[in-house]
Amino acid sequence: MEENQPKVSRFSLNFGALAGLAGIVFSLMLYIAGMQHEQGFGIQAVQFSIVALFVVLAIMQYKKANSGYLNLIEAFKMGAGVAAISFVVGTIYFLIFSNVIEPNFMEEAYEIGRQKMMEQNPNLTAEQADQGIEMQKRFFWVIMAVFMIISVIWGFVVSLIAGLIMKKDKPAY
């Protein structure tokens, strides 16, 4: 008699949505603290840690639901799925945030970026800085696609490590 194997997609969807919601809560905390434009290492580390935590939790729960068995392919699928779903949820929130909650967010971000460009390169003229900002505006969706790829790669890396640690193949007999 064959047991019903749990669906990787269900775990990816559930834990990806939870990771996205946790990311939204973190983003709202930054907004309330007036740190929504901060991009330091600590903030990035927390955001990557949120995804990593939910990838590991998804893999652990899947293994538990699968009678203690887990192979590396299942872990990979979950890592990529959780990261992708989390990114999509976060992007939807970002679009709502930047268009409804804080409509001036992008203009403020571009101005901060312009100021940083001018500080880091004193030889840069104001026109050149403005051209750089215009280029960023034109390639917004390309940049978002690159960030999604980075997120999925991060999910793969975390799932590789967690999968290797938790791997347990079903016996052949």
Element (H, E) at 94: helix 72-96
Residue 121 has pLDDT above 60, yes or no: yes
> What distances in angstroms separate CA 116 from CA 103, 128, 158, one per listed residue?
22, 13, 32
| Segments making up each domain of the chain, as ranges | 8-166
Residue 9 has pLDDT above 50, yes or no: yes
> What distances in angstroms separate CA 84 from CA 54, 72, 100, 138, one per listed residue?
12, 18, 24, 23
Q: Is residue 164 exposed (0-12), middle (13-18) or buried (19+ Cβ within 10 Å)?
A: exposed
Name the pLDDT band for 2 (thresholds 50, 70, 90).
Answer: low
Q: Based on C-alpha coordinates, what's the Rg of the chain?
A: 20
Give the pLDDT score at 118. 85
Residue 3 has pLDDT above 80, yes or no: no
Give the pLDDT score at 1. 41
Residue 34 has pLDDT above 50, yes or no: yes
91 within 8 A of 144, measured Cβ to Cβ: yes
55 within 8 A of 82, measured Cβ to Cβ: yes
pLDDT tens by residue, 17-26:
999 999 999 9
- Average confidence score pLDDT of the chain: 92
Name the pLDDT band for 125 (thresholds 50, 70, 90).
Answer: confident
pLDDT tens by residue, 50-75:
999 999 999 999 999 999 999 999 99
Mean pLDDT of 13-42: 95
- In this predicted structure, which of 9-13, 75-79, 123-127 has the lowest mean pLDDT? 123-127
- Residues 96-135 as b/e (b if ≥16 CB within 10 A, e otherwise) read ebbeeeeeebeeebbeebbeebeeeeeeeeeeebeebbee
Mean pLDDT of 102-111: 90
What the block records as the tokens of 100 is: 């409804």
Give the pLDDT score at 43. 94
19 within 8 A of 54, measured Cβ to Cβ: yes
